[in-house]
Each structure stands twice: as C-alpha cells, then as structure tokens.
Structure 1
Amino acid sequence: MSNSWQPYVDNNLVGSGSVSEAAIYGLDGGVWAKSKDYKHEDELFNAIKEGFEKEDVIRANGLRTGKDKYFALATSPEELHFRCGAKGLFCAKTKQMIIFAFYPDTVQPGNASKALGAVTDYLKSVGF
C-alpha cells in the first residue's frame, strides 16, 4: 500500500462521512490504498474490472462480495453503481486506477457519488 494514496481514501472518501469503505487499485489489480475496514477479496476487483469492459455482463449478473449480492443500477465506461438493499457501491475508473467507494444504508447515494466524483475528477485532472 502506497502511503501517498492513503489520504485520498482516509480523508476524501471515508473522511467525507458518506463512504464506509474505500480502496484504490491499480489497473493491474495491485492495492494502492484501502480503508482500515476494507475487507473485500481480490475477486471483487476482477469482477469490477471486467464490468468496465463488459457492461452488459455486469448489468445482467451483478456481483457478489462476501454474502452480499449487488445489482448494477448504472454502468458506463468510467463509472459503475451497485446496490444491495439500501447500501451500495460506486466504482470509478481512470487511466491508471479503479476506485471503490462503498456506502452504508444510512447515506444517500448521491452523497457517496459526490465524494467519489470529487476524488476521481481531481486525479483525472492531474493525469491519473
């Protein structure tokens, strides 16, 4: 885990109060940073990476992490949104990374999306 990426997770995502767990992965699957409570397996990264490449598959199948089944609500080449009951997951893809932002059932999805969008927009603006 690279210390230079950790503040984005701790301060800008989880620190926003709208994201409960977050991680930043390189496109090769290496973990660049993750929140202390992030407990999702590498298979989740693989499913998300494939979801960006094959939106129709992820829309049809959704994804599983642990015992939870997430359904795809929105997909695009740069962002995925999933729900499991009232909690959810937003993922954003840039040229070099995929960012995961889980939000709990107590948070409005738009607030989590806004937190992730701010980080993603900034990182894209500086070449990532």
Structure 2
Amino acid sequence: MSWQAYVDSSLVGSGHIDKAAIVSIAGDSAWATTAGFTLSAGEMKALADIYANPANQQKAQAEGIYIAGDRYVVAQIDDRSIYARKGRLGVCICKTKQAILVGHHGEAMVAGNSRQTVEVLADYLIGVGY
C-alpha cells in the first residue's frame, strides 16, 4: 500500500480524521498528505526534534506546537504520542520506527476516536517494520 493510501483510506477514510500527513522520522520530507494540509519544513523538523530529544517535550508543552500554520496547545505528550488542541480542533501525532503520523480532527469529531485511529495505524506500521 502506498503512503498516500494510508492517509486516504486508513486515516481520513475512517471518518475520525479530516486531514492527515505522514512525514519521515527525520522530519525532512512529507511522504503523503491530505490536499491543503501542508506541514512546513520547520514544523516537520520541530516534530522530529521533539521525538529525538526528550528535553524538547517540555518546550512543546510550554510553548505549543505548530501544525499546518496553526498553533496547538499540547494536552499530553510522551515518547510516542502527542495530543494537542486548538479550541475544539485537535491533532494526534504518533511516531513509528521510520515515520511520524499526523491526524487532525474537526469540531464535530470525537477526539478519542481520532486518537485511536492514528494509534492503530502506528501500531500496524511498527508491526510491519516501519
């Protein structure tokens, strides 16, 4: 399956995510994105830096993170996942061995369902070596 197919069918196709992206674990390239949901080079690098250095988790929690030009307040962060909100909008970000998955949910979507959708895909990718 192509990376774009994971974005289109596994994430957005679930009905729990309205926009998504998959970027390299190094934060240097986007492998697949939903049309109009573009993470800047700086945003991708910042996500990679959070996972590369645990000290950056505290900075993200204090300052928030930027996704597709919008600032989100970090609600929860650990070595694998970041959950952040901007009002009723939110993002779930998960790290696999080689990729960072970013799932965005809209106002009418349930954050827990969005989170589970991204986590399940991350578990699958880890299980197949990605």
Number of residue pairs matched by the alignment: 126
Q: CA deviation at 1:20?
A: 1.2
5 Å-filtered alignment, 1:32-111, equals 32-52=31-51, 53=53, 54-65=56-67, 68-111=70-113
Give, as a single letter, the amino acid of the residue that structure 2 aligns with 1:123. Answer: L
Give, as a single letter, the amino acid of the residue that structure 1 aligns with 2:24. Answer: G
Give, as a single letter, the amino acid of the residue that structure 1 aligns with 2:101. Answer: I
**Taking every aligned residue pair, what percent have the same amino acid on both sides?**
29
Q: 1 CA distance for matches of 2:122 and 2:73?
A: 22
Q: CA deviation at 1:35?
A: 1.2
Please name the residue that 2:15 is paired with. Answer: 17
Report the TM-score when normalising by structure 2.
0.89
RMSD: 1.5
Q: CA deviation at 1:67?
A: 5.8
Q: 2 CA distance for matches of 1:57 and 1:73?
A: 13
Which 5+ residue runs of structure 2 have no aligned equivalent? none
Cα distance 1:90–1:66, how it changes in 2: closer, same or farther (>3 A)? closer
Q: 2 CA distance for matches of 1:98 and 1:66?
A: 14
Which 5+ residue runs of structure 1 have no aligned equivalent? none
1:64-101 superposed Cα distances (whole Å, 9 cap, x missing partner)? 34663210000011100100001011110111111110
Q: 2 CA distance for matches of 1:92 and 1:19?
A: 14
Contact 2:29 2:41 (8 Å CA) reproduced: no
User: Quick check: 61-70 or 25-34, which moved more?
Assistant: 61-70
Q: 1 CA distance for matches of 2:62 and 2:113?
A: 26
Does residue 112 of the first structure (1) align with residue 114 of the second (2)?
A: yes
List, as ranges, runs of 4+ consecutive aligned residues in structure 1 with deviation greater than 6 Å.
none
Q: CA deviation at 1:24?
A: 0.7
Q: CA deviation at 1:40?
A: 2.9
Give, as a single letter, the amino acid of the residue that structure 2 aligns with 1:32. Answer: W
User: Quick check: 57-66 or 17-26, which moved more?
Assistant: 57-66
